[in-house]
Amino acid sequence: MTIKYAYPKAIVFDLDYTLWPCWCDTHIRPPLKAISSSEIIDRSGMRLSFYPHVESIIQELVENNVKIIGASRTATPEVAKKILSLLKINNRAAITYFDTLQWGAGSKIKHIKLAAKQLGMTEELKNGNFILYDDELRNRDVESINCLFVHVPDESVGLTKQVFQDGLERWSKFSQ
Ligand SMILES: [Mg+2]
């Protein structure tokens, strides 16, 4: 039996160690090139893909009309954007699935407020309709603006279906 989950209006994803297993500003040596639709390689020969469940999670969100937001504190947004442009989800560049991408150092409160503003979703944010999935516990300060924080605890597997669904379940209680 398939469990039917309720979804928030928007889901925010951290990138490094949430969607892929590296820090793109320290581990990647540009230029990058695709060696398949799901794998890229850098100048030093390091290969990178999304964590295994990421593609199906993104597709599930698209099918359920959930806005998809990226929020990263990386020092090299251009490298992150290149990764998202080269990796494909269902034959389309992954970057095209993101409704907005927010960058910069400092608290993700700023990233998320700006994303909500750009998408005309300030009220939805206030009403608890956002979740952030992130591997860094310091980013849980976003709960002060009513965005549920869900920790991605294991960098060897990143964002798994289990972590994703546990987050949705917590959100259905959080948002009541
Ligand atoms: Mg991270």
pTM higher than 0.85 for the full model?
yes
pLDDT for the residue 56: 98
Nearest Cα to Cα of residue 121 among 159, 90, 142, 147: 147
Give yes or no: 166 in active site. no
pLDDT for the residue 88: 98
pLDDT for the residue 175: 72
Nearest Cα to Cα of residue 107 among 139, 76, 67: 139
Q: Which residues in the chain come in under a pLDDT of 70?
A: 1-4, 176
Q: Which helix (H) or strand (E) holds 80?
A: helix 77-86
Ligand 1 centroid – CA 2 distance (Å): 30
Mind listing the domains of the chain with CATH numbers? Answer: 12-169 (3.40.50.1000)
pLDDT for the residue 174: 80
Give yes or no: 16 in active site. yes
Check if the beta carbon of residue 103 is closer than 8 Å to that of residue 72: yes
Question: Under DSSP, is residue 70 helix (H, G, I), strand (E, B) or coil?
Answer: strand
pLDDT for the residue 3: 62
